[in-house]
Structure 1
């Protein structure tokens, strides 16, 4: 059984695999009371005034306690992050990391405006949104119940997240992730190619980062 899980993990692209592993490890650590959510959430006061910069990172890896909502977000982010990394960002790990890094910075800036201490689910919706916009004609079967076209997938998942969480705040965080994903999609697929005519620093990783990831 362990061999099967290990073989499956090796097939997952590296950035998605790392994100998945850190997210699971964080939730397990909270469940085992090694750390508490109060040590992981992000706020400007805690991160900067109280000099706790790790909160700018841990906020993206805690999906909440082990629950249906945890499984829901983890499954869909892993599925579509993997598909995006294997297709649009195949052999471009630095560019995918750059996309997630810029998206994370945007979410950190939005966090105090919407009172979002944890940004993991918001960031998870970024690759979901971008994948859906890059595959507009792909039909998606949701839970084998009904079929929608890919561009409607993020909104359908936001609605389902609202239902299983029972609070609009969880859906609000997912919607903000969709908004940030839209910005990322626009910068890469519209602005850079159609309006500028090529890649820009906002749509392509710096050369130093590409060398670090071995993409050059």
Structure 2
């Protein structure tokens, strides 16, 4: 029964959050048994010279070995990815996927310059940043120690990461990319003379979104009891 409950809960998670979170967990499980991180990390030389193109994706899926850091990252990834997908991206799966692609491409370009090997944590911070800016009035509590407004959450996470001895470069990258997306999507289009620059490709809408109803479509009236179909057409 417990397994049925977990399965039911899993399938209730929105599609993009479910797919990304499951991919991260399965990648970590594979590292425990089948592969090594050296087969996953971001390496431009191996990508472009040896065509190991999977590294463009797998470097976003590995958050390190099982431990506190892994579960901490998974908790925040699942929570804020789901809240975005169920909140401001509700009914806009294609737009959500486009945000993933936009953020992933920008991080990959910055990763080339900064020699970063894994970008999953930066991606999580990007999701947190976008969510926090879209919920500016929400009060947050961090482990019962700090109370603050939601827009400060990415910076609190960066400080916590620093306390754990991690480099803040990855967190800063996530904040930077998150801000670029937020500015282009939410700020610039609402400025005088501004316009929407991030346009979701139509093929993503065809794949992920339900087709829009034709406004000119007029359904036939329901058949009344005892009415002959020929009479209805006359």
Scaled by the length of structure 1, the TM-score of the pair is: 0.92
Q: Give secondary structure in 2 for the equivalent of 1:35.
A: coil
C-alpha distance in 2 between matches for 1:196 and 1:71 = 44
Q: Relative CO higher for 1 or 2, CA cutoff 8 Å, sep ≥ 6?
A: 1
2:55 aligns to what? 55
- Unmatched tracts of structure 1, length 5 or more: none
1:186 aligns to 2:183 (yes or no):
yes
2:155 aligns to what? 155
1:117 aligns to what? 117
- Unmatched tracts of structure 2, length 5 or more: 212-234
Q: Give secondary structure in 1 for the equivalent of 2:147.
A: strand
Contact 1:43 1:111 in 2 (8 A): no
- Post-superposition, which runs of at least 4 consecutive aligned residues in structure 1 deviate over 6 A? none
Q: How does 1:136-155 map to 2 (within 5 A)?
A: 136-155=136-155
C-alpha distance in 1 between matches for 2:109 and 2:202 = 26
C-alpha distance in 2 between matches for 1:43 and 1:186 = 30
Contact 1:47 1:55 in 2 (8 A): yes
Shift in alpha-carbon separation, 1:173–1:143, aligned structure 2, 3 A: same
C-alpha distance in 1 between matches for 2:60 and 2:192 = 32
1:211 aligns to 2:211 (yes or no):
no
Q: Give secondary structure in 2 for the equivalent of 1:147.
A: strand
Contact 1:61 1:120 in 2 (8 A): yes
Contact 1:69 1:161 in 2 (8 A): no
Shift in alpha-carbon separation, 1:196–1:53, aligned structure 2, 3 A: farther
C-alpha distance in 2 between matches for 1:116 and 1:63 = 13
Shift in alpha-carbon separation, 1:52–1:140, aligned structure 2, 3 A: same
Higher alpha-carbon Rg: 2
1:65 aligns to what? 65
Q: How does 1:1-216 map to 2 (within 5 A)?
A: 1-32=2-33, 34-164=34-164, 166-167=165-166, 169=167, 171-195=168-192, 197-200=194-197, 202=198, 204-216=199-211
C-alpha distance in 2 between matches for 1:160 and 1:112 = 26
Shift in alpha-carbon separation, 1:100–1:172, aligned structure 2, 3 A: same
C-alpha distance in 2 between matches for 1:39 and 1:110 = 21
Shift in alpha-carbon separation, 1:26–1:139, aligned structure 2, 3 A: same
Number of matched pairs: 210
Contact 1:136 1:151 in 2 (8 A): yes
Structure with the higher fraction of residues in helix conformation: 1
Q: Give secondary structure in 2 for the equivalent of 1:31.
A: helix
